[in-house]
């Protein structure tokens, strides 16, 4: 594997007094696409939130590009080049597609792909066909694409993608898969949560299987899927 861009070691996370993640350790190499797999409630979204620093009272260590993030606030992690796309689509419904993209623009980062509106339109032709459309008048799948596109405009080193295939039409799921493969071709590193095992095996290099807040297995997406089926998860 290439040098680790993100390294998570013995992460424990809590919601109030509920202990949710237990000693989660994982890595994402530069240019790698890594999937977090596991059923509903396994702790996939919580892992991404913990990496972003969005939870109180975590234990463990998160390093990014060799830098310890443990004490940094979410906005500081974002400035270092972590781009988080949460499960709920957070677009500005009153603003057009282009204005939404402009709202996400940040200066280029050394070593990370540089994104312009045109480059994201090449990646998401649907968005390119409706630059003036207000966000509130787009389909759920288009809004999902716009959320990802806006995060790319921040020129992140690593994209944290929560369930890109969830709740969108099959055609859009296919486009999402193509988009992730093209992101990888551009050198992006991606950590995504995915319950859709077919989707995960299409797009990712490696996968981790989470269950009840613990990593049960890791390997190629196919190995993880086989383990998942054998253990009935």
Ligand X SMILES: Nc1ncnc2c1ncn2[C@@H]1O[C@H](COP(=O)(O)OP(=O)(O)OP(=O)(O)O)[C@@H](O)[C@H]1O
Contact set with ligand X (CB under 6 A): 15, 18, 20, 38, 40-46, 193
Distance of CA 2 to the CA centre of its chain: 19
Q: Which is nearer to ligand X, 21 or 97 (by Cβ)?
A: 21
Q: Which residue has the tokens 């796309």?
A: 85
Q: How far is the CB of 166 from ligand X (least distance, A)?
A: 7
Helical segments of the chain, H only: 44-52, 74-79, 97-103, 117-123, 125-128, 140-152, 170-185, 197-203, 221-230
Q: How far is the CB of 87 from ligand X (least distance, A)?
A: 6
Q: Which is nearer to ligand X, 36 or 179 (by Cβ)?
A: 36
Question: Do residues 154 and 78 lie in contact, with contact meaning Cβ atoms separated by under 8 Å?
Answer: yes
Q: Which is nearer to ligand X, 120 or 193 (by Cβ)?
A: 193
Q: How far is the CB of 3 from ligand X (least distance, A)?
A: 28
Helix, strand, coil content of the chain in percent (nearest 5): 35, 30, 35
Q: Please tell me the distance from the alpha carbon of residue 165 to that of residue 5, in angstroms, as a whole number.
A: 24
Q: How far is the CB of 141 from ligand X (least distance, A)?
A: 18
Specify which residues 214 forms β-bridges with.
211
Q: Which is nearer to ligand X, 50 or 138 (by Cβ)?
A: 50
Q: What angle do CA 72, 158, 100 make, to 5 degrees?
A: 90
Q: How far is the CB of 18 from ligand X (least distance, A)?
A: 6
Evaluated on CA atoms 154, 160, 165, 166, the torsion sign reads negative
Q: How far is the CB of 35 from ligand X (least distance, A)?
A: 12
Q: Which is nearer to ligand X, 21 or 138 (by Cβ)?
A: 21
Phi, psi of 222 (to 5 degrees): -70, -40
Sheet of 18-29: strand order equals 18-29, 4-15, 59-64, 67-68
Cβ atoms within 10 Å of 62's Cβ, excluding its own: 21
Q: How far is the CB of 36 from ligand X (least distance, A)?
A: 8
Q: Which is nearer to ligand X, 20 or 101 (by Cβ)?
A: 20
Q: Please tell me the distance from the alpha carbon of residue 49 to that of residue 14, in angstroms, as a whole number.
A: 11
Q: Which is nearer to ligand X, 28 or 153 (by Cβ)?
A: 28
Tokens representing 154? 């921040």
């Amino acid at each position: 594997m290439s040098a680790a861009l993100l390294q998570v070691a013995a992460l424990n996370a809590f919601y109030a007094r509920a202990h949710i993640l237990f000693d989660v350790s994982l890595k994402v190499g530069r240019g790698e696409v890594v999937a977090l797999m596991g059923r509903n409630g396994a702790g996939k979204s919580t892992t991404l939130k913990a990496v972003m620093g969005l939870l109180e009272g975590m234990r463990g260590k998160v390093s990014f590009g060799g830098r310890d993030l443990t004490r940094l606030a979410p906005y500081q992690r974002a400035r270092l080049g972590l781009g988080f796309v949460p499960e709920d689509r957070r677009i500005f419904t009153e603003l057009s597609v282009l204005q939404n993209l402009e709202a996400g623009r940040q200066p280029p980062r050394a070593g990370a792909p540089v994104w312009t509106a045109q480059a994201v339109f090449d990646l998401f032709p649907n968005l390119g066909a409706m630059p003036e459309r207000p966000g509130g008048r787009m389909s759920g799948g288009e809004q999902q694409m716009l959320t990802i596109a806006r995060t790319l405009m921040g020129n992140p080193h690593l994209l944290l993608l929560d369930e890109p295939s969830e709740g969108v039409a099959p055609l859009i799921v296919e486009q999402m898969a193509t988009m992730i493969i093209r992101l990888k071709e551009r050198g992006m590193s991606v950590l995504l949560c995915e319950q859709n095992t077919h989707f995960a095996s299409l797009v990712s290099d490696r996968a981790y299987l989470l269950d009840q807040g613990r990593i049960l297995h890791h390997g190629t997406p196919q190995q993880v899927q086989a383990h998942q089926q054998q253990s009935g998860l």
